[in-house]
Structure 1
Amino acid sequence: MDCKKALYLWLVVFFTNLPVKTKAQSSAQKMTFSRADTLKGNLTPLRSCYDLNFYHLDVKFNIDKRFISGSNLFRFTATQDFTRLQFDLFANLNIDKIVYHNQVLPYTREFNAVFISFPELIKKDSKDEFTVFYSGYPNVALKAPRESGVVFAKDSLGYPLVATACESKGASIWWPNKDHLSDEPDSMLISVSVPKDLKEVSNGRLRKVTDLKNGYKRFDWFVGNSINNYNVAVNIGNYTHFSDSYTGEKGKLTLDYWVLPYNLSRAKVDFAKNVKPLLKAYEYWFGPYPFYEDGYKLVETPYPAMEHQSAISYGGYMRGGPKNELIGVPGGEKWDFVIVHESAHEWFGNNITAKDLGDLWIHEAFGSYAESLFIEKLYNKNAGQKYLYANRAGIANDGLIVAPYHVNQMGSGDMYSKGAMLLNTVRTIINDDEKWRSILRGLNKEYYHQTVTYNQVVHYISMKSGQNLEPVFDQYLRYKSLPVLELAVKNGKLNCRWIAEAEGFNMPIRVKISGGAYHFIYPSAKFAPIDLAGISAENIEVDTSNYYIGLIRPKI
């Protein structure tokens, strides 16, 4: 991803030790924004006037020249009367023409936004379509997915290995679309033409392969579910394919793997070890895999990883270089971090998608927290908690996790590990693991294949838990500092209070007398005695294992 948003040093995420990964991601947030940022991030009437139903992206890759050309059909329903709309395509790519009912439409461009005018009124509730023809040299990403663009690489045998990655800057960096997370097409056809000696893998299911008789083959992939723009992926290489299946909550789920031939034996062992256990764990915690119709795929890529829906990009240790990061607990077996983390995004990120990039924590906090739930399901709760705790060391607390809305801005990289700590804290407050599991599954059912806001997620968890958790979420996500529990002896009694910025912050917390059982107490912003017989400054223990907080103790 680009240096302006260097909050996500993804290469560090995947190729460094867990305790320090988040610190490496963090940096100062951008707080001033340009007209280009607003055009990209704001859902103006020129974008909200139409609701996407279907895309047909048809693109040809000239790999030697690093050149692409093709078209995208926009099929939509009008949400209001209009004669003008906006779509998005980076300015370095040419618009060859825009066709509407066999007419070529006029258009204007401003930064990476494109404005088209229709010859007649498009009436509310009507269904219509237009096609954008385009070509050019897309941004080349040298350090994907930290940088957005197209990766042009070669495998160890010298064959081309090409892949797309565009989460931060958006999909319009390589194809024309309405580049806003709030609107996803209900389905999509992805047609990619590549040199005939190579294969191409995209999202969804392969419908057909056509020999174009000009040295190219076209691969047609159909996505039968809604999909966010940055998840649309192209992967081109000298792939070999093998498959399997998993019997899950909705029946048979196809598992397809596309890897380079010299990694086939290793992939068969590693994928078999990791994929089915994680699917079993995540279906237990989150509900059915959200895309049975499109299947589950891992596709080898020349960069570490990306959560492309139903076609997860997998670099891992198979690409050579630094050893792939593994998930585990002391004395336990090791599991592939890339597969475990990116697969969690099929539920949080792909099934449930944030409406605005400023709420990307909905993807990454839950995705990171899922790693510990995977460990817990395999072993026990204590193992999952140990894994979570090990991730604290790298949290920087130097930026806001929720970024400004409507300007295509991401929040602090603390959204990964600190976000996971927040969710574990909420689980502890709820104090009912079956209720917590029902909330996680309920989120994926209530917002199945939908885009969501901060308020929707927080309100749902509060409502289902029976507690107002909004101040808790606000403190951890909208402020960079931790809440601090201050203990003080007043009039011979041990008192406590919360020091926090979030309005009405009164998070319940567990304390105990040394050697005893935990009890909940309910501090507020004002000092009040701790209502627990026999407790003192000398014998109090605060549950700092399950609560990620600051603590001020009185001098003894």
Structure 2
Amino acid sequence: MAMPPDEPESFPKLTERNRLLGDLLPERTCYDVKHYLINMDIDVDKKYIKGFVDISASAEENFTSLQFDLARKMKLNGVYYLDQTLKTTRKKDAVFVEFPNVNKGDNFTFRIDYEGRPLEAKRPPWDGGFVWEKDKKGRPYVSVACEGDGAGLWWPLKDHIADEPDDGATMTFTVPEELFCVSNGRLLDISSDIKNKKKSYTWSVNNPINNYNISVQLGHYVSVQDTINRNGVTDTLNHYVLDYHEEVARNHFKQAKTVIRFFEKYFGDYQWWDDGYKLVEVSYLGMEHQSAVTYGNNWDNWRGTRSWTSKYYGIVDGLLFHETAHEWWGNSVTAIDPAHMWIHEGMAVYSEALFIEDQLGYNVMVDFLLDKRKGIKNKVPIVGPRNQNYWAFGDSYIKGAWIMHTLRHVIDNDETWFNILKSFAVDNAKGHVSTEDFLNYVIHNTGYNYQIIFYQYFYTHKPPTLEYYQDGTQFFYRWDAVSGFNMPIDINVNGLERRIVPTKDIQEIEISEFSVVHIRDWEFLMFLKENLNLSKRDAS
């Protein structure tokens, strides 16, 4: 773990684009999206899309103007409501539409016609956009990933993480007839246009879905079906892979069943069974597209495309596990603002640790987390500024997981801890939460106020430092941390575990001379600093 600088690095300067995308301005809060109907033609040769989106919504307030979002490089052909063409104004990636009077409580639908060459992803999935690739046989192989950059890169919508379409989405993609199209949810229909050598695929999602999770994949796909028995109920898994990977997928993807059973055990039911679960092969590493998790790893638990995907002791494909984890942490339990992205990423990595513990035992889990801890940078707090379209990635993965590991040992009661995790996931399924929501849930279920501990770990860039010194028959200690920090930790004295509750004041305990003292820093995220001055009565 890297030593933090004295002062944190600055968060990115707020741009006008991110203000418009990140803030829930009146032109966005005035309506609540209920359903998206997406219809587009994808010209693979020209890397061009053209189509329309029908947005069905309810009015939360009386309004005459609303905002939707569409990348400025995409051409807006028109916005239509009640057979009228509406006047629009564009500002960065935001589009403001003038409506006739719409009254609070009204249900309404408007259509957006658009077209253009969507942004091409330079380094998917970290840089968003379309991925226009060829498979190993030189055939078109197309996908899209847009978390962070926004779904407005390729279709018009209310592009904020806090507003999901309550009644889901219906997606129709018209593509070259030789390609198979895979999207989220269930495949409803395939129709052919023989004259133009095209096929149209209609997929449907019945549940709320994060906007960036709506996806499309084109290729020479075949279906690889499997079944899973869970609590006496049999569900079908319907994966899609390139035709020449059918055999390896049929074997490699079997582990998805073990992963799903683990998550249902620890975090409650998979929320999207009516939309299905499937893994979809893509050319990039992968993404957590709801009910259509994309996979681009190396078909090997020990040798993944990226090194981190192989550090799971051979028991699971790390990429497959991590992206499936987001079906619970990210897709079901969703951050109210991307500033709280640790709820997605930190919980996903912590789930990886718990899976290793479940399969291989506690000590192997600790080994996994100790190796992960080396990657913590401590440059900025892991919770960033809200309403600025700031996607707080970075340390949210590993540091977020380590904060959960720390909190488990602070609470020091596994029954309570695992009940908190599962009940929080169940109680907030298909909902939006913040760091404060999780804090309040922990307080309610433990009866202890962890507010200062949360502030130290989530809202400052510095983990606490335990200063200590052993002098004869005394062991001195104190926290170097924010004011009021009093997190308990455990130490070993001559092999016996003992709990101490350091504060910012110097404290001491009596020990026998020449005792062997080990601070259990494998349980808590902290720095250790030996400080001779602690043994002096005038130490400050």
User: Normalising TM by the smaller chain, what interval?
Assistant: over 0.9
Match of 1:174 in 2: 154
Which of 135, 160, 184 does residue 203 from structure 1 map onto? Answer: 184
Q: Are the counterparts in 2 of residues 427 and 433 from structure 1 also a CA contact under 8 Å?
A: yes
Q: How does 1:100-139 map to 2 (within 5 A)?
A: 100-119=81-100, 121-139=101-119
Q: Are the counterparts in 2 of residues 402 and 412 from structure 1 also a CA contact under 8 Å?
A: no
Local SS of the residue matching 2:374: helix
Looking at structure 2, the residues matched to 373 and 248 of structure 1 have their Cα atoms a distance apart, in angstroms, of: 20
Q: Are the counterparts in 2 of residues 422 and 476 from structure 1 also a CA contact under 8 Å?
A: yes
Which of 244, 253, 256 does residue 235 from structure 2 map onto? Answer: 253
Q: Does 1:222 align with 2:198?
A: no
Match of 2:436 in 1: 455
Local SS of the residue matching 2:174: strand
Local SS of the residue matching 1:296: coil
Q: What is the Cα deviation at residue 411 of structure 1?
A: 2.5
Local SS of the residue matching 2:339: helix
Q: 1:412 to 1:321 in 2, by over 3 A?
A: closer
Local SS of the residue matching 1:391: helix
Which of 298, 302, 308 does residue 279 from structure 2 map onto? Answer: 298
Match of 1:185 in 2: 165
Of the structure 1 ranges 483-492 and 36-45, higher mean CA displacement relative to structure 2 is found in 483-492
Q: Does 1:317 align with 2:298?
A: yes
Looking at structure 2, the residues matched to 321 and 431 of structure 1 have their Cα atoms a distance apart, in angstroms, of: 35
Match of 1:523 in 2: 502
Which of 372, 381, 387 does residue 391 from structure 1 map onto? Answer: 372
Of the structure 1 ranges 389-398 and 232-241, higher mean CA displacement relative to structure 2 is found in 389-398
Q: Does 1:160 align with 2:113?
A: no
Q: Does 1:409 align with 2:409?
A: no
Any idea what the Cα deviations from partners look like across 1:48-78, whole Å, max 9, x if unmatched? 1111111111111100000001111111111
Q: Are the counterparts in 1 of residues 473 and 512 from structure 2 also a CA contact under 8 Å?
A: no
Q: Does 1:76 align with 2:53?
A: no
Q: What is the Cα deviation at residue 261 of structure 1?
A: 1.1
Any idea what the Cα deviations from partners look like across 1:243-283, whole Å, max 9, x if unmatched? 112122583332111001111111111111x2111111111
Q: What is the Cα deviation at residue 212 of structure 1?
A: 2.9
Q: 1:404 to 1:536 in 2, by over 3 A?
A: farther
Local SS of the residue matching 2:209: coil
Looking at structure 2, the residues matched to 323 and 83 of structure 1 have their Cα atoms a distance apart, in angstroms, of: 50
Which of 4, 12, 16 does residue 35 from structure 1 map onto? Answer: 16
Of the structure 1 ranges 96-105 and 453-462, higher mean CA displacement relative to structure 2 is found in 453-462
Looking at structure 1, the residues matched to 454 and 264 of structure 2 have their Cα atoms a distance apart, in angstroms, of: 25
Q: Are the counterparts in 2 of residues 250 and 292 from structure 1 also a CA contact under 8 Å?
A: no
Looking at structure 2, the residues matched to 453 and 78 of structure 1 have their Cα atoms a distance apart, in angstroms, of: 25
Looking at structure 1, the residues matched to 516 and 308 of structure 2 have their Cα atoms a distance apart, in angstroms, of: 40
Q: What is the Cα deviation at residue 460 of structure 1?
A: 1.1
Looking at structure 1, the residues matched to 323 and 304 of structure 2 have their Cα atoms a distance apart, in angstroms, of: 20
Match of 1:13 in 2: none
Q: Counterpart amino acid of 1:305?
A: G
In the alignment of these two chains, the number of paired residues is: 525
Q: What is the Cα deviation at residue 379 of structure 1?
A: 2.1
Looking at structure 1, the residues matched to 323 and 72 of structure 2 have their Cα atoms a distance apart, in angstroms, of: 31
Local SS of the residue matching 2:278: strand
Match of 1:539 in 2: 516
Q: 1:297 to 1:322 in 2, by over 3 A?
A: closer
Match of 1:289 in 2: 270
Local SS of the residue matching 1:394: coil
Looking at structure 2, the residues matched to 71 and 261 of structure 1 have their Cα atoms a distance apart, in angstroms, of: 31
Local SS of the residue matching 1:208: strand
Q: What is the Cα deviation at residue 519 of structure 1?
A: 2.3
Q: Counterpart amino acid of 2:422?
A: R
Q: 1:84 to 1:138 in 2, by over 3 A?
A: same
Q: Are the counterparts in 1 of residues 406 and 524 from structure 2 also a CA contact under 8 Å?
A: yes
Q: Does 1:368 align with 2:349?
A: yes
Looking at structure 2, the residues matched to 125 and 363 of structure 1 have their Cα atoms a distance apart, in angstroms, of: 33
RMSD: 2.3
Q: Does 1:553 align with 2:533?
A: no
Q: What is the Cα deviation at residue 163 of structure 1?
A: 0.6
Q: 1:68 to 1:29 in 2, by over 3 A?
A: farther
Match of 1:278 in 2: 259
Local SS of the residue matching 1:244: strand
The TM-score normalised by the length of structure 1 is 0.90
Q: Counterpart amino acid of 1:542?
A: I
Q: 1:55 to 1:249 in 2, by over 3 A?
A: farther
Which of 419, 429, 432 does residue 413 from structure 2 map onto? Answer: 432
Q: Counterpart amino acid of 1:509?
A: I
Any idea what the Cα deviations from partners look like across 1:294-341, whole Å, max 9, x if unmatched? 111100111001111110110101599946754456xx5342111011
Q: Are the counterparts in 2 of residues 181 and 357 from structure 1 also a CA contact under 8 Å?
A: yes
Q: Are the counterparts in 1 of residues 473 and 511 from structure 2 also a CA contact under 8 Å?
A: no
Looking at structure 1, the residues matched to 247 and 40 of structure 2 have their Cα atoms a distance apart, in angstroms, of: 32
Q: Are the counterparts in 1 of residues 31 and 61 from structure 2 also a CA contact under 8 Å?
A: yes
Q: 1:255 to 1:324 in 2, by over 3 A?
A: farther
Q: Counterpart amino acid of 2:454?
A: F
Q: Counterpart amino acid of 1:143?
A: R
Which of 262, 274, 295 does residue 244 from structure 2 map onto? Answer: 262
**Where does the alignment leave 5 or more consecutive residues of structure 2 unmatched?**
536-540
Q: What is the Cα deviation at residue 488 of structure 1?
A: 4.2
Of the structure 1 ranges 390-399 and 52-61, higher mean CA displacement relative to structure 2 is found in 390-399
Which of 324, 329, 338 does residue 343 from structure 1 map onto? Answer: 324
Looking at structure 1, the residues matched to 118 and 513 of structure 2 have their Cα atoms a distance apart, in angstroms, of: 65
Identity %: 35
Local SS of the residue matching 2:487: coil
Local SS of the residue matching 2:441: helix
Match of 1:9 in 2: none
Q: What is the Cα deviation at residue 382 of structure 1?
A: 2.1
**Where does the alignment leave 5 or more consecutive residues of structure 1 unmatched?**
1-18
Looking at structure 2, the residues matched to 425 and 253 of structure 1 have their Cα atoms a distance apart, in angstroms, of: 36
Q: 1:336 to 1:455 in 2, by over 3 A?
A: same
Looking at structure 1, the residues matched to 481 and 514 of structure 2 have their Cα atoms a distance apart, in angstroms, of: 22
Looking at structure 2, the residues matched to 499 and 286 of structure 1 have their Cα atoms a distance apart, in angstroms, of: 35
Local SS of the residue matching 2:226: strand
Q: 1:484 to 1:535 in 2, by over 3 A?
A: farther
Local SS of the residue matching 1:152: strand
Q: How does 1:8-47 map to 2 (within 5 A)?
A: 30-47=11-28
Looking at structure 2, the residues matched to 352 and 482 of structure 1 have their Cα atoms a distance apart, in angstroms, of: 26
Of the structure 1 ranges 214-223 and 110-119, higher mean CA displacement relative to structure 2 is found in 214-223
Which of 465, 478, 486 does residue 506 from structure 1 map onto? Answer: 486
Match of 2:538 in 1: none
Q: Are the counterparts in 2 of residues 76 and 129 from structure 1 also a CA contact under 8 Å?
A: yes
Q: Counterpart amino acid of 1:544?
A: D
Looking at structure 1, the residues matched to 353 and 469 of structure 2 have their Cα atoms a distance apart, in angstroms, of: 35
Looking at structure 2, the residues matched to 535 and 118 of structure 1 have their Cα atoms a distance apart, in angstroms, of: 79
Q: Counterpart amino acid of 1:137?
A: R
Match of 1:11 in 2: none
Q: 1:73 to 1:504 in 2, by over 3 A?
A: farther
